Amino acid sequence: MNKTGQNTDVSARLNKLIFEAVLMRVLPMLSEENLTEYEKIIDSKEVGEVLWNFLKSKVPNFENIVKEEEEILRKELEK
């Protein structure tokens, strides 16, 4: 694998870690109705932008939560 491919792989892994951390924080904030809608999105395999927009519309301060999780990961990586 060339250096560009390695960077892409590392970036994808970091994004996945951030997304998982965000999900751990925001899923408990969703109502039962919104959790059902979340599950439908996951089951339909329409993750990515559809899921992102859904969470952004349902979770107050969603973008701040994402930034906080990015910062937490950055600090962990600096150790």
Give me the number of domains the chain comprises. 1
| Residue 30 CB coordination number (10 Å) | 16
The angle subtended at Cα 68 by Cα 43 and Cα 72, nearest 5°, is: 100
pLDDT of residue 58: 97
- First-to-last C-alpha distance (Å) of the chain: 27
Which pair of structure tokens corresponds to residue 22?
Answer: 């965000």
Q: Which domain holds residue 30?
A: 3-78
pLDDT band at 79 (very low <50, low <70, confident <90, very high): confident
Nearest-angstrom CA–CA distance, 72 and 48:
22
pLDDT of residue 4: 61
Q: How many residues make up the chain in this entry?
A: 79
pLDDT of residue 3: 61
- From 3-12, 22-31, 49-58, 70-79, the region with the lowest mean pLDDT: 3-12
